Amino acid sequence: MSHSYVFEIVLEEIPAWMVQQRLDAIQKGLTAMRAEFGGGEEAPGTIRVGATSRRIWFKLVDLPARQQDRSEEIKGPSAKAAFDAAGKPTRAVEGFLRKNNATIEQLETRDDYVWLSRKVEGKRIEDVLAAGIPRLIETLHWPKAMRWGSGEHSYIRPVHSIVSAFDGEPLPLTIFGTASGTTTVGHRILSPGPIEIRTVEEYEPKLEEARVIADAGKRVEILRTAARRLAAEVGGEPAEDEQIWDQWKFLTEYPGLVRAEFDPSFLVIPFEVLVTVMRVHQKQLPIWKNGQLTNSYLAVMDQESDPDGNVAGGNAFVANARFADARFFHETDRRHSLEERLPELGRLQFQEKLGSYRDKTERIVKIAAAIARELDLGDSAAIDEAARLAKADLGTEMVKEFTELQGRIGGIYAREEGKPDLVWMAIYDHYLPVSVEDQMPRTITGAVVSLADKLDTLCGFFRIGLKPSGSKDPFALRRAAQGIVQILLNREPWSVEIPVERLVAIGLEAHGSGSASENVAAELREFLADRVRTLLEHSRYGAWAYDEIAATMASGWGNSLPDLLDRLAAIRASRNSPEFLSILDSAKRIRNIAGEETSTSVNASLLEHPAEKRLHELSGAVIDQIDELVAGKHYSDALVSFAAMAPELETFFNDVLVMVEDQAVRMNRIALLNRVGSAARQIADVTRIVVDRRDYNSR
């Protein structure tokens, strides 16, 4: 017979942006707890975790009655310490036995130690839950916490009530001084009365009767349907904004939407400003029509309808007030050009040891110009101007109020000043990309300025020794490095192919690094290599396997990241082909014999055996072919050509002894093998690829 458990904790309203990560942590903790119960793999749906704006809940079904019994081995003192010369037990082993409630007959000696083997009887599941659930909830980490009552307890919000029921009966537990029961409450306003909850099956239906939709997915579907309907009433469509949906789903218990309108005169403000105010500050969803922002928008409410229009009216009042501020900031900022704002940057500190934003701007200009020369972009006037004005908006009233607009508002002001498209777009885009999923700068001008900005930050902080440590990264240097790698990985509509070593050198040169610069450069290259590995595992960049990444990066990665992607594609295609084992075996045998020797210089006069002469002759023709294919980036074909040498290599290994006493002959044969192996190593060190040979034998 299977068993079930339902849990709920009701608190004051929880900030929506904090909820999902905590649910993930609870899911992980429950999965680990469920695994301890035994009984095979967890079936889908046996654990469900959810939340609303003021409650966290979960259900466990198909639970066994008890934990499975298990065998336990406990290591005791050494055999020498456990028994004296006469073989009698010492005080050390007697203490060990008392501690573990065991007898001398249960001991066995193994590996020079005494061991206690015993069967541990599984606990009742309700006892495990009663002990584990409070610990799981109380140790949940929240970014912020508050105290309530006497101040004894600290949590994200004060606890109101707890439901804990196992198989329809109360399972008593206490969390932060609050004892559990089987009574919860419905919606705070629409149905505030008590509700009795005893079973998993009745939890969601009873809450729904009390105007609480417990499942976040169901709440989102209700909101999406309402959003499409309300937007269609004005001939528009709701904006696509997953960030808003991620917050809306935890802002309510009984979800509803209202359409409101702000004063259309505010539409003269750049739409980026209006959208930022709505989405970031008001949690509102804009409505678009024919690619244009309308003065209608959607706001979430914790009730089904707004019959008197109070919610819509209140929303519009607040939105109009915020937009009035934004219009004032816009009009105030436009009294001065970006050029006139540059002296202000000297009064804004970037970092104590790295100077002001004026200093940073000067370095960005130098770095951007050097990158443009490396790329041979010709006229770099647009790059120079964009780099010089990129940080000018930091002193604007708009950025002071809406920091999320930095960069973009500078681009908007540059556009309004009549700057060329390449200039204002580069300023607008120069913070991109911010995340893995983020879009790239639209132009190569923007890409160069973005690269220069991120490179300056990275090189500067590494130079003064402020590197990320563990999970701590207060200056977002991993994000800066990730952005650099994303730009270097990009292909369309522009590509920035510049060696990482040269890029790092350009960044450090702008900082005037001294004698320690080579150590810093090495640290930076490895830091960027880590970001390359991380990004290549992401689905946006191919979701490559760890061994594919290791193999290709071992053959070089820093000269061209797009080329690295091409070689990865070739390795993946080759590892799925029947001849891959020939490639792998040949490469491994060459590596095992050659060891640390790297010479590929072969003296033909020292070749004695017919098999090595044939291999030398064949390899000359094949290697030339491989070199030509590699030069043309036909990496898969090059690997096929390498595989074609496998039979001749097999003959060589069977007929020729490499490790002969004559050192000259021995080294010449190793050089021959290295010469053959180096052909494939231009693409990847295939010996790092992990394979299951049964997969190939079944083909």
CATH number, domain of 481, equals 1.10.3210
Q: Where residue 514 falls among pLDDT bands split at 50, 70, 90?
A: low
* pLDDT score for 38: 67
State yes or no: pLDDT of 427 exceeds 70.
yes
Per residue in 333-371, pLDDT tens? 999 999 999 999 999 999 999 999 999 999 999 999 999
Q: Are 391 and 414 in contact (CB under 8 A)?
A: no
State yes or no: pLDDT of 625 exceeds 60.
yes
Q: Where is average pLDDT lowest: 166-170, 270-274, 325-329, 637-641?
A: 637-641
pLDDT cut 70: percent of the chain above it: 97
Per residue in 207-243, pLDDT tens? 999 999 999 999 999 999 999 999 999 999 999 988 8
* pLDDT score for 71: 74
* pLDDT score for 653: 87
How far CA 585 is from CA of 77, 185, 507, 572, in Å, comes to 47, 67, 42, 17
Residue 549 lies in a domain: no
- 244 shares a domain with 229: yes
The average pLDDT across 594-609 equals 87
pLDDT cut 90: percent of the chain above it: 69
Please, what is the average pLDDT of the chain? 91
Domain count for the chain? 5
Q: Where residue 185 falls among pLDDT bands split at 50, 70, 90?
A: very high
State yes or no: pLDDT of 695 exceeds 70.
no
Question: Which pTM does this prediction carry?
Answer: 0.81
Residue 268 lies in a domain: yes
- 244 shares a domain with 327: yes
- 314 shares a domain with 229: yes
68-71: long-range contacts at Cβ-Cβ below 8 A with a sequence spacing of 24 or more? 68/37, 68/38, 68/39, 68/122, 69/119, 69/120, 69/121, 69/122, 70/38, 70/119, 70/120, 70/122, 71/117, 71/118, 71/119, 71/120
- 343 shares a domain with 487: yes
Cα–Cα distance measured from residue 394 to residue 343, given in angstroms and rounded to the nearest whole number = 11
State yes or no: pLDDT of 42 exceeds 60.
no
Residue 550 lies in a domain: no
Q: Where is average pLDDT lowest: 146-155, 328-337, 445-454, 674-683?
A: 674-683
How far CA 277 is from CA of 272, 302, 314, 326, 536, in Å, comes to 9, 21, 16, 9, 35
Considering only CA atoms, which of 658, 552, 677 is closest in space to residue 609?
A: 658
* pLDDT score for 698: 55
Question: In which residue are the tokens 């309808």 written?
Answer: 305
Of the two residues 289 and 597, the one the predictor is more confident about is: 289
Give the H/E segment covering residue 144.
none
Q: Where residue 699 falls among pLDDT bands split at 50, 70, 90?
A: low
Of the two residues 214 and 281, the one the predictor is more confident about is: 214
- 195 shares a domain with 137: yes
Residue 610 lies in a domain: yes
605-638: b or e for each residue (b if 16 or more CB lie within 10 Å)? ebbeeebbeebbebbeebbebbeebbeeebbbbb
Q: Where is average pLDDT lowest: 441-455, 475-489, 680-694?
A: 680-694
Q: In the sheet where 70-78 sits, what is the strand order?
A: 70-78, 113-120, 107-110
Residue finishing a domain among 305, 333, 361: 333
- 176 shares a domain with 45: yes
CATH, residue 625: 1.10.730.10
Question: 3-state DSSP: the chain helix, strand, coil percent, rounded to 5?
Answer: 55, 15, 30
- 492 shares a domain with 372: yes
- 181 shares a domain with 220: no
The average pLDDT across 67-80 equals 82
Residue 557 lies in a domain: no
What amino acid occupies position 583? I
Q: Where residue 481 falls among pLDDT bands split at 50, 70, 90?
A: very high
Q: Where residue 643 falls among pLDDT bands split at 50, 70, 90?
A: confident
Q: Which residues pair with 248 in a beta bridge?
A: none
- 477 shares a domain with 416: yes
- What token pair was written down for 562? 């797009």
Residue 556 lies in a domain: no
* pLDDT score for 40: 47
For strand 178-179 and strand 174-175, is the pairing parallel, antiparallel, or unpaired?
antiparallel
Residue 551 lies in a domain: no
- 384 shares a domain with 289: no
The average pLDDT across 500-517 equals 85
Residue 555 lies in a domain: no
- 311 shares a domain with 261: yes
- 431 shares a domain with 520: yes
User: Where in the sequence is the domain holding 472, given as residue range(s)?
Assistant: 339-543
